[in-house]
Amino acid sequence: MPSVRFFLLVTLLAAIVLAVPTPTRRRGIQKRSFKVPRQLNTAHPTGPNGPAAMRKVFRKYNFKMSDDFMVKEGFISQSKQAESEKNTTSTAPVSGTNGTGTVAANPEENAALFLSPVDVGGQTLNLDFDSGSSDLWMFSTDLDPQLIGQHSVFDASKSTTFQKTTGAQWQISYGDGSGAAGTVGTDTVTIGGVTVTNQTVELANQVSQSFVQDTNTDGLVGLAFSSLNTVNDGTKKTPAKTFFDNVMGDLDMPVFTADLDPDGTGVYQFGAIDSTKFEGEMTWIPVKAETGFWQVSSTKFAVGDQLFSNPQGSDAIADTGTSLLLVDQQVAEAYYSQVEGAQLNAQVGGFIYPCAATLPDMSVAIGDSYMATIPGSQINFATVDQANTTCFGGVQGNQGAGLQIYGDIMFRAQLVAFNGGNQSLGFGQKPVPQ
Ligand SMILES: *[C@@H]1O[C@H](CO)[C@@H](O)[C@H](O)[C@H]1NC(C)=O
Ligand SMILES: *[C@@H]1O[C@H](CO)[C@@H](O)[C@H](O)[C@H]1NC(C)=O
Ligand SMILES: *[C@@H]1O[C@H](CO)[C@@H](O)[C@H](O)[C@H]1NC(C)=O
Ligand SMILES: *[C@@H]1O[C@H](CO)[C@@H](O)[C@H](O)[C@H]1NC(C)=O
Ligand SMILES: *[C@@H]1O[C@H](CO)[C@@H](O)[C@H](O)[C@H]1NC(C)=O
């Protein structure tokens, strides 16, 4: 008898445990903030790779690696090299229909280092939360099985809540011809226990090789402004809304925060700001939302405690989908002029230095009222040689592209809140880990 009672008790407890943490709720009730973990992508082909991270951000924003610039800076012509690489592999353009097309690229270039679980129509996918784009897209069963490989894919036929949006398409394409494209629908999407019942979801039926090779990234959750969404349904209506735009009204605060640890893992929180994670008050800076990005001006910088004005002064984007802190070229030059043994290296494609060097702190202006400081101890990005004696910096130059991209290197040191309500960014300096 006791064993039966015990069994009943265990069953009852199990039922309670199962019932509590999965509050699949309808929109607009009860749950007002939630957290989503960001985990290291164990299938990432190489781990942190400086040159690949550099190529990824240049590709994402269609920045050109300028020949002139590279000659001046002592680069060999990497864009020519990229061009010839492109011609060595068969290429099916991303546009058009039903591609099993592959585009040349080093596999790791589009690889997301960090991923978070997302439930779409009852199917769990590992997606990369990207504040630098606005599409929620995923690998799907519309893809050729060879392209799917080990990916988790979304199977629309197995979702009872999926509805196809007839005639609509989406497409992300990069300057070098790589990208992804496919069809569109709506489905129930749950992130961190919060559900949106009519979320626009984008099913890939074409992906370029760089996405294929990254076997643990099943797609992206775009968290920039909805105006950048690529869904085209043949009308000129309002763009499809991002997940954040859809949940915003239901949250305690219309914000999400990126709290990323120095190792790049961490937490995205929607609806609340954890003020124990930073020192002092948060500083709020309005963004230029009309660009579609979380974009601010950034006309000053500091190396250590020496303040400079940035002669180019390009605007900057806060991008959780980029690894590096990509700054105007002169800013990177000024920074590495303070690092013993640093050089801009042609073969590697960026600034490198002896791993034993001491790196100064770097600060970049966020609007007119805030300087975001990244301690020198958090600026190293990766090693570039087997012996681990030469290092690739997390601060790199944009080669005159006219836009600065502030990625993970910044989020290691700053708690950043993305406020969709008044379209601003909140910054808080995190304590330096001992
Ligand atoms: C690559 O192919 C394009 C188009 O076919 C051609 O214009 C270009 O010159 C080629 N580049 C190289 C480096 O062969
Ligand atoms: C894709 O192409 C293959 C072969 O060309 C064809 O059999 C298949 O039906 C196509 N799939 C779609 C979704 O158009
Ligand atoms: C769901 O979204 C689609 C497109 O975004 C819209 O046309 C449709 O009316 C929505 N349906 C409901 C029930 O809200
Ligand atoms: C935006 O909202 C935050 C949080 O409510 C507030 O503290 C801040 O002052 C606002 N900032 C701007 C630029 O309106
Ligand atoms: C270099 O670093 C990697 C990764 O931390 C490590 O696996 C490897 O053993 C190191 N190599 C040497 C020679 O220390």
pLDDT along the chain (434 residues), means of 10: 45 39 43 76 66 85 67 34 33 26 34 75 91 94 90 94 95 78 95 90 90 77 95 83 94 92 84 94 97 98 97 96 94 97 91 97 97 97 92 96 96 96 97 81
Identify the burial level of 400 via C-beta atoms within 10 angstroms of its C-beta, where 0-12 means exposed, 13-18 middle and 19 or more buried.
middle
Tell me, yes or no, if 214 is annotated catalytic. no
Token duo for residue 322: 């980029």
Token duo for residue 173: 């394409």
Residue located nearest, by CA, to atom 11 of ligand 3:
198
Q: What is the pLDDT of residue 52?
A: 81
Number of residues assigned to the chain: 434
Which of 80, 87, 88, 90 to mutate for ligand 1's pocket (most ligand atoms within 8 Å of CB)? 87
Q: What is the pLDDT of residue 75?
A: 33
Does residue 112 contact residue 320 with C-beta atoms inside 8 Å?
A: no
C-alpha–C-alpha distance, residues 136 and 197, integer Å: 14
Q: What is the pLDDT of residue 205?
A: 94
How much distance in Å is there from the Cα of 377 to the middle of ligand 4? 31
Residue located nearest, by CA, to atom 14 of ligand 4:
422
Chain region(s) in the chain for CATH 2.40.70.10: 34-49+98-260, 274-429
Token duo for residue 53: 């991270």
Q: What is the pLDDT of residue 73?
A: 37
Residue located nearest, by CA, to atom 11 of ligand 4:
284
How much distance in Å is there from the Cα of 370 to the middle of ligand 3? 40
Tell me, yes or no, if 319 is annotated catalytic. yes
Rounded to whole angstroms, what are the CA distances from 24 to 60, 186, 192, 261? 35, 18, 10, 29
Residue located nearest, by CA, to atom 10 of ligand 2:
98
Residue 310: CA atoms inside 13 Å, Cβ hemisphere, count?
32
C-alpha–C-alpha distance, residues 114 and 107, integer Å: 16
* Dihedral (Cα; 412, 370, 270, 229), 10-degree rounding: -90
Q: What is the pLDDT of residue 351?
A: 96
Q: What is the pLDDT of residue 382?
A: 92
Phi, psi of 111 (to 5 degrees): -65, 130
Q: Which atom of ligand 2 is nearest to the CA of 97?
A: 14
How much distance in Å is there from the Cα of 381 to the middle of ligand 5? 14
- Alpha-carbon Rg for the chain in angstroms: 22
Q: What is the pLDDT of residue 34?
A: 82
Mapped to the 3 state alphabet, what secondary structure does 282-302 carry? EEEEECCHHHCCCEECCCEEE
- For the entire predicted model, the pTM comes to 0.79
C-alpha–C-alpha distance, residues 354 and 128, integer Å: 32
Nearest to 355 by CA among 341, 344, 375, 338: 341
How much distance in Å is there from the Cα of 197 to the middle of ligand 3? 9
Does residue 101 contact residue 179 with C-beta atoms inside 8 Å?
A: no
Q: What is the pLDDT of residue 43?
A: 59
Give the burial string for 50-80 (b: 16+ CB within 10 Å, else e).
bbbbbbbbbbbbebebbeebbeeeebeebbe
Pocket of ligand 3 (CB under 6 A): 186, 198, 200, 240
Q: Identify the active-site residue in 128, 187, 319, 328.
A: 319
C-alpha–C-alpha distance, residues 345 and 305, integer Å: 27
Token duo for residue 318: 């806060």
Q: Which atom of ligand 2 is nearest to the CA of 205?
A: 13
Q: What is the pLDDT of residue 45?
A: 53
How much distance in Å is there from the Cα of 388 to the middle of ligand 5? 6
Q: What is the pLDDT of residue 90?
A: 26
Q: What is the pLDDT of residue 79?
A: 34
Query: Which CATH architecture fits 274-429?
Result: Beta Barrel (2.40)
Q: What is the pLDDT of residue 215?
A: 67
**Taking the domain 34-49+98-260, which CATH number applies?**
2.40.70.10
